[in-house]
Amino acid sequence: MENEVKLISGAMVTLAIATASLVVLPYLQLRHEPPTPGLKPYTDAQLRGRQVYIREGCVYCHSQQPRDPSQAPDDKRGWGRPSVAGDYYYDSPHLLGTMRTGPDLFNIGARQPSADWQFGHLYQPRAYTPGSIMPAYPYLFEIRKQAETGDKVVALPPQFVPVGGVVVATQAAQDLVSYLLALDRTFPALAPVAVAGPASN
């Protein structure tokens, strides 16, 4: 019996230490972290697009956390400066991701700001990146015989345009692209510090 008590109390102490260091301490440290200056809240369309990003599982292949040069050459890959806590102020839940089957997308809006490219790449990644292993998302688009007024027609390389039709982006695709284009944290992580000039008196 004595051994069971030791085992159970040992397990409880271990769990309490882990909870304190992994949950409670980070919460206390980051609770008042302000948004990085320059970070804008998401619009309604971008928030809907974020839900599409979650629903379609983009996070399973794409991270959103460029790392420090001492950990990974992410800056050389063109993925941007290391992210800081304030960059995630409006992200709930955050979409840090752990897998990097594809590139980090934290700054994709700055790296690839063309909405036409984003639509075409989602409809058929191989149209822009030959040999890409990213899945196509054809169900985020509709194929129509003719475009109607107000339709967002996707500009594709000619060999990918379906015969006798046009590819039109659904609302979900439009929201997703507006979210992707909003992913731009190219502003500095630290607010410029006012430099004290020489005393004037």
Site residues (vs ligand HEC, CB under 6 A): 53, 56-58, 60-62, 101-103, 105, 108, 111-112, 125, 129, 132-135, 137, 176, 180
Q: How far is the CB of 125 from ligand HEC (least distance, A)?
A: 4
Nearer to ligand HEC, 86 or 184 (CB): 184
Q: Are 173 and 143 in contact (CB under 8 A)?
A: no
Q: Which is nearer to ligand HEC, 140 or 166 (CB)?
A: 140
Whole-number Cα distances in Å, 105 to 54, 100, 111, 123: 13, 10, 9, 18
8 A C-beta contact, residue 157 and residue 51: no
We find the least distance from the C-beta atom of residue 66 to ligand HEC, in angstroms, to be: 12
Nearest distance from residue 138's CB to ligand HEC, in Å?
Answer: 12
* Closest to ligand HEC by CB, 49 or 82: 49
Whole-number minimum distance, CB 9 to ligand HEC, in Å? 44
Q: How far is the CB of 121 from ligand HEC (least distance, A)?
A: 6
Q: Which two tokens stand for residue 47?
A: 């928030």
* C-beta closer to ligand HEC: residue 35 or 112: 112
Report the residue number whose CB is nearest to ligand HEC: 102
Using the minimum distance from each CB to ligand HEC, give the nearer residue, 59 or 166. Answer: 59
Locate 41 and state its tokens: 């809240």
Radius of gyration in angstroms for the set of CA atoms belonging to the chain, rounded to a whole number: 23
The nearer residue to ligand HEC, 93 or 150, going by C-beta atoms, is 93
CB of 193 to ligand HEC, least distance (A): 32
142 burial via Cβ count (<10 Å: 0-12, 13-18, 19+): middle
CB 185 within 8 Å of CB 39: yes
